[in-house]
Amino acid sequence: MNTKTSVQAQWFWLLLIANLSFGLASPASAITQQPDWVGALDAAADVQYPQCEQVIDVTRAPYFAKGDGVHDDTDAIQQALSDMMGRHKLLYFPAGTYLISKTLRWSNQNSAGQNAWGFNFICGQNANKSIIKLKDGTFTDSSAPAALMWCGGFGSADWFHNYVENLTFDVGNNNPGAIGLQFYSNNSGAVRNCRFVAGDQSGLVGLDLAHRDMNGPLLVRHCEVSGFERGVSTVRSVNGQTFEYLTLRGQRQFGFDNEGQTISIRGLFSENSVPVIRSYGTLCLLEATLTGIHGAERWPAIINYNGGRMFLRDISTTEYARAVGDVTTPDWFAVTRITGEDKPGSQGPRVNEYSSHTVFTAFPATTTSLRLPIKEPPQIARDPISEWANVNDFGADPSGQRDSTAAIQAAMDSGATTVFLPGFYALESTVTLGPKVRSVVGLGGWVDYSGKAKPDFKIADGDSPAVMFEHFSFIHGGIEIDSNRTVFFRSVSDCDLVFGPNAVSNQLYLEDVVTHHLVLKNQNVWARQLNVENEGTHIVNESGDLWILGYKTERGGTLLETKSGGRSEILGGFSYTTTAGKLAPMFVVNNASLYTFFSEVCFNGDPFLTLVEETQGGNKKKLGREPAHTAPYSARLIAK
């Protein structure tokens, strides 16, 4: 991840479709008043991990947090945080209410004085049961806000692979200056299954992603915010943030406030008397149910502020003045009623598809999105921890100093369906997943740091139709998929994927994944928060379906080549063009279909000059960066 320089950034927004006559899916059916996923946290099962050195339980020695809602646990939790910083360990909160009286702070160094660089994992047993609560009357000054938890970082984009999961952050009462969580992560990282709760007139921001520059790429999934001035805040131009299944209720100013960031959201449910979204960055919003209450008729549900870029699809609004309002008034909130400019398709209450800016096409064609089928990741049952095979029990070295190939292979062949790798592991040859294995679980450690095995793991045929890898910060030798089993990678970084001869038509799910030069042939892929960083072509999609919610890229080279009847749909994301942008088309389409809503930030004066190179039959056309497009712009390119 490169940080920005003093050179002026060059921007553009790209809304693109390129497709032949391979057909479009029919429009989605009407969104229900409350989607099925709302309330998922109430039904969530408890999450547990085996006791081992890499799992730090805040209630155990030497910390002894009480979690009784009466004793002040601030010092105990802070010491546990300081001890685990950057060590690729898990800080675990069993069920309880952990009362605090000042900000819990992540540090750039751990208690041993070692630089952290991120790699922190905090997890509660259950969001309904594991609660971090601020004492009433602690952060009373809204002009000097403070967070229950501040998640660290260097002030540059070098704070990697951080996670906060299965917790409630309750700011209590009489705390108008309280912020629930100030989260920060780069390349990979997520806030999952969390609640942010504020009492009446308490709380400034629930989830604050705007407290520093260069936050992301990261994922927020299955989170709920109740109360606060603003539910979620985002800011500045890099590095992209992806949301899926977000519930907002009872905010006092905005549900979601975006000041310049590249935001992708799928699945938003809101019950509010104020505007649900204010945005002047880049916003892609899909499948939203926005219900206005108690005076919402004064406002648009969504405010596109100061020339921001938006693509909206399948939005349902109720009791708002209109669905979308384009607003330029600097002090717009001071007026009593504002509806914004009446652009075609923005009135609502139902918005099937809406684009805030001009549509561009390479070949004449329709301008609707592809609407590729969207599928959820497989639900792989979590085994009781007593049935997990911990590779350390088979002789693996969790320090990564000696070869653990034989020990990990023995764990894979043990008959266990979940194999646990809690530490760091050196490999000198490939490990093949056993036929019973369906989950390979880490805690954010690395595998094969020197990249000796290539690949580190091989997925062959087995008893389970689906296999999942989760929570690894590096798998440097990569993974070979040599089976038609469905494969789900969840929070896996720096892992290259290759496909063997038996991988003919896989279903592949990528959630919060970092990889390089991904070459797909006949695979169907669904990706949420995908970060691809390499020089040269980033992704090739040949003859398959590729759906991405939130695609962030870095360095030069074609970002996606779609060919031979493939269909690709990118719904939100951007290129952080740091090298060689002028040398290749941003997107290549060869007798295939592509839709993308995309943007670019370039600080080095070398942005992409050719945005799209498209071939239909024997005809080729290019869409270049025109002189008028040096300022932010959006374009849609469709071929038919």
Q: Do 41 and 222 form a contact (C-beta atoms < 8 A)? A: yes
In terms of Cα–Cα distance, which of 603, 609, 608, 551 is closest to 578? 603
Alpha helices in 243-365 (DSSP H): none
How far is the CA of 506 from the CAs of 96, 302, 395, 471, 528, in angstroms? 42, 38, 33, 22, 17
Whether the Cβ atoms of residue 302 and residue 277 lie closer than 8 Å to each other: yes
Average pLDDT rounded to a whole number, residues 406-417: 98
pLDDT-derived band of residue 18, with 50, 70 and 90 as boundaries?
Answer: low
Could you give the count of Cα atoms lying within 13 Å of 36 in the half-sphere of its Cβ? Answer: 0
Q: In the prediction, which pLDDT does 555 show? A: 87
pLDDT value for 382? 86
Residue 631 has pLDDT above 70, yes or no: no
Cα–Cα distance for residue pair 90/311, rounded to 1 Å = 38
Query: Residues 606, 298: contact at Cβ < 8 Å?
Result: no
Q: What proportions of the chain, in percent to the nearest 5, are helix, strand and coil?
A: 5, 45, 50
* Per-residue pLDDT at 359: 62
| 369 vs 393 pLDDT, higher one | 393
In this predicted model, which residue has the larger pLDDT, 5 or 506? 506
Q: Given this model, what pLDDT does residue 618 score?
A: 87
Mean of pLDDT over the chain? 89
pLDDT surpasses 60 at 27:
no
Residues 6+ positions from 7 with CB-CB distance below 8 Å? 603, 604, 605
Question: What residue has token string 């370039």?
Answer: 602
Cis bond upstream, residue 455 (ω within 30): yes
Over 90: is that where the pLDDT of 574 sits? no
pLDDT for 331: 55
Reported pTM: 0.94
**Binning pLDDT at 50, 70 and 90, where does residue 344 land?**
confident
- Sequence-ordered strand ranges (E) for 365-465: 389-390, 399-403, 418-421, 424-426, 431-432, 439-442, 446-447, 457-459
| φ and ψ of 48, to 5 deg | -135, 155
| Per-residue confidence (pLDDT) for residue 338, from 0 to 100 | 60
| More reliable by pLDDT, 148 or 555 | 148
Identify the band that residue 543 occupies on the pLDDT scale cut at 50, 70 and 90: very high
pLDDT value at residue 598:
87
Neighbours of 50 (CB within 10 A): 16
- pLDDT reading at 515 higher than 90: yes
The pLDDT > 90 percentage for the chain reads 72
Three-class DSSP category at 439: strand
Backbone angles phi, psi at 526, to 5 degrees: -125, 120
Q: CA distances (Å), 119 to each of 52, 427, 440, 495, in order?
A: 18, 21, 19, 16
pLDDT band at 31; cut points 50, 70, 90: very low
Q: What is the pLDDT of residue 464?
A: 92
- Listed by start position, the domains of the chain span 1-24+366-371+516-640, 46-226, 378-488+501-506
pLDDT, average across residues 49-78: 97
Instruction: Please report the pLDDT score of residue 409 as a whole number.
Output: 98
Residue count (the chain): 640
d(CA 209, CA 205): 10
Q: Is 606 exposed, middle or buried (0-12, 13-18, 19+ CB in 10 A)?
A: middle
In sequence order, what DSSP letters do the residues of 160-197 get, joined into one string?
EEEEEES-EEE--SS-TTEEEEE---EEEEEEEEEEEE
pLDDT at 25 over 70: no
CB-CB neighbours of 319 under 10 Å: 15
Residue 500 above 70 pLDDT?
Answer: yes
For the segment 210-258, what is each residue's pLDDT rounded down to a tens digit?
A: 998 999 999 999 999 999 999 999 999 889 999 999 999 999 999 999 9
Q: 461: exposed, middle or buried (C-beta count within 10 Å: 0-12, 13-18, 19+)?
A: exposed
Largest CA distance in the chain: 74
Of 90-99, 479-488, 499-508, least confident by mean pLDDT is: 499-508
- How large is the average pLDDT for residues 24-49? 72
Question: pLDDT category, 636, cuts 50, 70, 90?
Answer: very low
pLDDT at 627: 55
Task: Provide mean pLDDT across the span 458-482.
Answer: 96
Answer with the residue of higher pLDDT: 278 or 633: 278
pLDDT at 263 over 80: yes
pLDDT per residue as tens digits for the range 352-375: 999 887 667 677 777 788 999 999
Whole-number pLDDT of residue 2 = 43
Predicted pLDDT at 511: 98
Per residue in 159-213, pLDDT tens? 999 999 999 999 999 999 999 999 999 999 999 999 999 998 899 999 999 998 9
pLDDT of 22: 30
